[in-house]
Amino acid sequence: MVKPPPPEGVAAATPTAVDQTNLGLPRGTVLFHVVRSQGQDRIVPVAEVSGDSLRSLSRPAGVSPQAFEQRFRQAVLPPNAQFVLFRRGANVGTFTLAGPAGLTSCGIPMGTGQATTVAAAAADQEFLAFRKGLEPPVVGEFSPPQIDGPIRRYAPLVAERQVLASGLPRPGSWPRSQRDLQALDLVRGGNPEMATTFLSGDNLAVGAGDKEGWSVFYVAGYEQRTGYNPIYSEVADYRRAPKRAPKAVDYLNWDGKGGNELLIQVFGATDSWYEAISADRNKGWQKVWEGKACR
């Protein structure tokens, strides 16, 4: 009996063990980052889901760039492949691959295509994605938390505490230094969490920051008695360390265990990369994986 091929756009059989080992191909499900643009939307492979963490994607030293790209595209980004899009923990649409889009700085192939979402997510620019047929089970409709008064009010206050505790100079203007603010629903029920980035002498983009600059990124949870307080934070003083400007991408329970994980994109002087944080029952929110800059 001849086994019929899978439906168009659906993930086919996984690569052989020989391919996985010899060519460094993913051995499991790959997490993608989809970004909308005025031209064609872009899909970027982030990492392979591995248990409670992520595993970096990379080309083995002994494999030629051409061979790796060709086999990676065949196995992970085949023509007309379909991907399921997620935003704020909910399934919001699909992405159809149209063609290649060059390589990341680490030599990982990217793709271009078309993102199609529900009307409520039409204004959103970034999504998490998985190959159709390999996506995690998610229940619930897209109902993103809103940036309300308390979030706007507490965001600079919490940032100021971080700045003072780290011995950083105050910015000339707190509103101008706030470069990103998002409402999150990491833990269902109650007030939403928030993620925000404050920068001094820098931008949320690849490129050198000011030598006297700094970045403050934090995720904060709300308590009735004390208001918003950080549950995870990163502070970088460019006077003492290289530039790193983090920004929250989105959250999802991508491993199907415990609660949500949060994907973060970090912008450096010459490259950008990703990291992920997750909540540990005993240790709280902590970094569980970080990619690397390749240039």
- pLDDT tens, per residue, the chain with 295 residues: 444 445 555 554 445 555 555 688 999 999 999 999 987 899 999 999 988 889 999 999 899 999 999 999 999 999 999 999 999 999 999 999 999 999 999 999 999 999 999 999 999 999 999 999 999 998 788 999 999 999 999 999 999 999 999 999 999 999 999 999 999 999 887 899 999 999 999 999 999 999 999 999 999 999 999 999 999 999 999 999 999 999 999 999 999 888 999 999 999 999 999 999 999 888 899 999 999 988 8
Secondary-structure breakdown of the chain: helix, strand, coil percentages, each rounded to the nearest 5? 15, 40, 45
Domain span including residue 262: 149-290
Tell me which of 71, 104, 131 is where a domain ends: 131
Specify whether 78 is located in the same domain as 205.
no
Closest CA to 91 of 143, 27, 38: 143
What is the rounded CA–CA span in Å between residue 71 and residue 57? 13
The Cα–Cα gap between 151 and 38 comes to 30
**Residue of 61, 77, 14, 11 lying closest to 69 (CA atoms):** 77
> Do the domain assignments include residue 1?
no
Residue 103 lies in a domain: yes
For residues 155 and 92, state if they share a domain: no
56 and 97 part of one domain? yes
> Is residue 285 located within the same domain as residue 153?
yes
Tokens representing residue 193 in the block: 């969490």
Closest CA to 271 of 146, 108, 72: 108
259 and 194 within one domain = yes
In the chain the first and final C-alpha atoms are separated, in Å, by 50
* Residue 64 φ/ψ, nearest 5 degrees: -70, 150
Task: Measure the CA–CA gap between 99 and 251, rounded to whole angstroms.
Answer: 27
